[in-house]
Amino acid sequence: MPDFVQIDCGPMQPRGLRIHAGTFVTLFRRDQGWVMIDSGYGVTDVRNPSLITRIFCAFVRTPLKEENCAIQQMPRFSINPKYVNDIILTHLHLDHAGGISDFPWARVHVLRKELQAARSHRGRQGIGYLSRHWKHGPDWKLYDHIDSDWFGFPAMRVADMQPEVYLIPTPGHTRGHAMIAFQVSKGWVLQTGSAGYPSYGHDEDQARAPGWFKHWLMGDYTARLQTLWQEHRDEITFLSSHEFRNSR
């Protein structure tokens, strides 16, 4: 079994752009069972999609298929969904948090500021939140106090998880967005979520975007992440939630 598994829960080919991407869920093991970073779209999103889900998926051309949901794909990776006991969210937008209702027994870890923004639809990205995703009343584990440093980034350690897991506040895409770092057998994995691209210029297929657009969409983290990659790429595996690439 590899240190972690990436599952694409929503292929994307945005209209008018020659790029493709995915909607990635990351799974890794801890003593408590499986931990999932983000959750993609849920079964309810497929069977009874909201208006905003239909509009968004039509724009990015994501097929809403139940077979793409994380809970349906896990058996292909020899993962039993009932052993997913923790979900850590980069943020609560519909394409990241839709699947949490498929795991109603799981603890859901997120920054307190993000849950507050989602409940009030606060901020310019508020349209992307759907309260139906947490209607089941998740066991929220909320974080709002910096207690650690992760490679120079202020961080919040996830309690009672070994090896270490951190939420790294990166407001920009949403008010309470966080990157997630977790330790593996040989170093670290950093899921940057919607705070940055994973490759930072070394991959020819990586889709490029103007600096102003990246700043508007993701926040001002590209330069810091590029420096982190240059200085620690042998220690850290970089991922992102969508990994936009050029279509050929």
Q: Is 185 left (phi over 0), alpha (psi -120 to 50) or beta?
A: alpha
Q: Report d(CA 247, CA 197) in Å as an integer.
A: 16
**What integer best gives the mean pLDDT of the chain?**
88
pLDDT band at 11 (very low <50, low <70, confident <90, very high): confident
CB 102 within 8 A of CB 70: yes
C-alpha count within 13 angstroms, C-beta hemisphere, residue 116: 8
Which range marks the domain in which residue 206 is found?
4-246
- Residues 145-197: pLDDT tens digits? 999 999 999 999 998 899 999 999 999 889 999 999 999 999 999 999 988 76
pLDDT band at 247 (very low <50, low <70, confident <90, very high): low
Strand partners, 206: 245
pLDDT of residue 212: 42
- Residues 198-232: pLDDT tens digits? 555 556 666 555 454 554 455 567 788 889 988 99
pLDDT of residue 215: 45
- Residues 126-147: pLDDT tens digits? 789 999 999 999 999 999 999 9
- Mean pLDDT for 9-13 is 88
Helix ranges (DSSP H) in the chain:
43-47, 51-60, 70-73, 94-97, 112-120, 211-218, 222-232
- Residues 231-243: pLDDT tens digits? 999 999 999 887 7
Strand partners, 62: none
Residue type at position 121: H
Q: What is the DSSP letter of 242?
A: S
How crowded is residue 27: how many other Cβ atoms within 10 Å of its Cβ?
Answer: 18
- Residues 29-76: pLDDT tens digits? 998 899 999 999 999 999 999 999 999 999 889 999 999 999 999 999
pLDDT of residue 216: 45
Task: Examine the pLDDT at 117 and tell me if it is beyond 60.
Answer: yes
User: 241: closest CA among 180, 186, 183, 187?
Assistant: 180
What are the backbone dihedrals phi and psi of residue 73, each rounded to the nearest 5 degrees, phi first? -85, -25
Residue 196's domain is classified under what CATH number? 3.60.15.10
The CA–CA distances, whole Å, from 236 to 6, 88, 192 equal 16, 19, 12
pLDDT of residue 189: 96
Number of domains within the chain: 1
How crowded is residue 11: how many other Cβ atoms within 10 Å of its Cβ?
Answer: 15
